[in-house]
Amino acid sequence: MFLVTTADTRTWDRGARILFLGEWCRRFSERKTWEGLDYEVAPFHWDDRAKLYRDYLYLDSLYERCLNALIPVMNQEHGARYPARYWRIFAGPWLTIYLQFIFERFEAIRFVAERYSIEDTLVLAYDLKDMVMADMQDYIVRGINSDAFNHMLYAEALRTLNLFPWQSSPEPLNLAPPPATASGNGKRLTGLLKKFLAFPGRFNRLAFVSSYFYVPHQARLQLSLGQWPCLSPSDCRRPLGAVNIERRRALKLDFSAGSIFERYVADNILRFLPYSHLEGYGELRRGIETQPWPRRPSLILTAGNLTFADGFKLWAAEKTQVGSVLVSTQHGGHYGTGLWNTLEKHETAVSDVFVSSGWSEPGNPRILPLPSPRLLCNARLLRPAANGRILWVLTTFARHSFHLFSIPITSQVLGYLEQQFLFARGLKPEVRERILARLYPSNYGWDEEQRWRAAFPDLHFDRSRESMFRQASRCSLCIVTNNTTTLMETLAADYPTLAFWNPRHWELRPEALDAFDALRAAGVLHDTPESAARLANEVAQDPATWWRGSDVQRARKYFCERYAWISEDWLSRWKNALRDMERRPPSGTAP
């Protein structure tokens, strides 16, 4: 068989029997190019979810070994003596995500080699410099989501494992070029305006950077703490510069590598390191000095910036070394409930305090539950309309895996989509007529809308890109299809909600089972689309009456107390908590 690793049709041998490595190879929008071929799609190796969880735990332990080996290399390259926490904050997110995505590519190749007789595959020409991205955001936008970058990852696995024949092609891979530096008077003026509105923050002792607060709430909290209200500044980013590939080739990690994969990681990991972490590190350090962040903050508060914002991470890492307390806040669903979550684990590990939306973790005193002012504001916006439509909130995930949490991964997204089709088929015609389907705004290449149009041409979709809150204000019932932010928002708002998902792809941690079981017992959460459709048919005409039932309300309140806590006295609770945090001894100290 001829192996095809991505959707790049230049690597396909149409005259051979083809083995597609996964469903990500078959774009629905390009089905005319593969429908007539003699092909088979390999099963996804992480369809064995127990193996997926074992691999996650293995990669977590490998991350610690690699980080310990990376620290002396980074200190030597940058003439520094920073401790582990500094590099965990700055380089840890890239390292953990890199290990997860490169391991998955190696496993995919090994998996098909054990099960199929593969006679050939084609590797397009690429330059080692193409593997280096400008920063973390570049890795996600231009790297992991592209077929070209993934072709390189599979090629590296093919060359290293050498489990079956492959041939090289002189045709260049043509990875998308780095984005041009923002220019033009309009962009410059916008940037200057943002800096001006964020400038008062330079004089504050508490730094609020992408805090997940709405602006009015953040301003009230800052005033209550005797601070200047200000906007959060943008992250400091630098374009991709000249990559010194010879320098990178000479750098290796020194740790005990057992498997072929681990030896590959030890020898090659620094070839992938973002430009901002190596050649561009000094430039990035100079750049953060121009940002309107406090010089010596007593406390730094952020939400999502601890993963993808390299400038902020570098600034925060440096400030923790001179005594700043680092506080991160929950910025979405799945946190505290999913059996594993890479981003949650990193954020709770590097923070002095992690503020949850109600949950705590046995044996982890760093996690502090506080009411969510964002959910409180959303609760005031989410109001059902009597006799309104039914809002069906759909999601999607990347075609190529890059960080792990307990959700459908790559090919399993089509299983998620099939569950949605089963739900639609189970609805009575008059109920389906009232559906307003909200597609996920980001496009990962699954061509969802085309798939939906082919299966249900009469289904109503919203193309306006207006907010979910506006759409919900015209609806009387919300259908939630995943354990993420929407479920928190609708339950906290006491908005009639019916949820369903496949529990095999949304594993829960033991501490969360009782809250979700209560939702199941009350009929709010369903494990099958057929069961959810039957209840939707029953309550569609009058969702409010069903929703006000005592069992439903009891389950909703119990869930919200644990995972979607809102309170009118949030301001005093947050103010007192932040003052206490300022007095907390930070985890990091100056070297």
Residue 19 lies in a domain: yes
Same domain (yes/no): 402, 512? yes
Residue 251 lies in a domain: no
Domains contained in the chain, number = 3
**362 pLDDT tier (thresholds 50, 70, 90):** confident
Is a pLDDT exceeding 80 seen at residue 179? no
Residue 361 lies in a domain: yes
Q: Calculate mean pLDDT across residues 271-275.
A: 94
Our measurement of the distance from residue 257's CA atom to the centroid of its chain's CA atoms, rounded to an integer in Å, reads: 29
Q: Tens digits of per-residue pLDDT, 307-356? A: 999 999 999 999 999 999 999 999 999 999 999 999 999 999 999 999 99
Residue 123 lies in a domain: no
Same domain (yes/no): 454, 355? no
Burial class (CB in 10 A: 0-12, 13-18, 19+), 54: exposed
Residue 114 lies in a domain: no
Residue 92 lies in a domain: no
Is a pLDDT exceeding 90 seen at residue 579? yes
Same domain (yes/no): 343, 392? no
Same domain (yes/no): 385, 491? yes
Same domain (yes/no): 471, 508? yes
Same domain (yes/no): 553, 471? yes
Residue 116 lies in a domain: no
Report how far residue 161's alpha carbon sits from residue 163's, in angstroms, rounded to the nearest whole number: 6
Residue 52 lies in a domain: no
Is a pLDDT exceeding 50 seen at residue 589? no
What does pLDDT average to over the chain? 93
Domain range enclosing 211: 193-236+290-371+570-582
The CATH number of residue 393's host domain is 3.40.50.2000
**192 pLDDT tier (thresholds 50, 70, 90):** low
Same domain (yes/no): 358, 468? no
Same domain (yes/no): 339, 388? no
CA torsion 545-433-29-47 (nearest 10°) is 30
- Half-sphere exposure of residue 519: CA atoms within 13 angstroms, side-chain side: 27
Same domain (yes/no): 490, 551? yes
**304 pLDDT tier (thresholds 50, 70, 90):** confident
Please give the backbone phi and psi of residue 52, each rounded to the nearest 5 degrees, phi first.
Answer: -55, -45
Same domain (yes/no): 367, 450? no
Residue 245's pLDDT is: 92
- Half-sphere exposure of residue 124: CA atoms within 13 angstroms, side-chain side: 22
Report how far residue 60's alpha carbon sits from residue 50's, in angstroms, rounded to the nearest whole number: 15
Report how far residue 198's alpha carbon sits from residue 404's, in angstroms, rounded to the nearest whole number: 34
Same domain (yes/no): 412, 508? yes
Same domain (yes/no): 430, 538? yes
Percent helix, strand and coil across the chain, each rounded to 5?
50, 10, 40
Q: Radius of gyration of the chain from Cα atoms?
A: 25
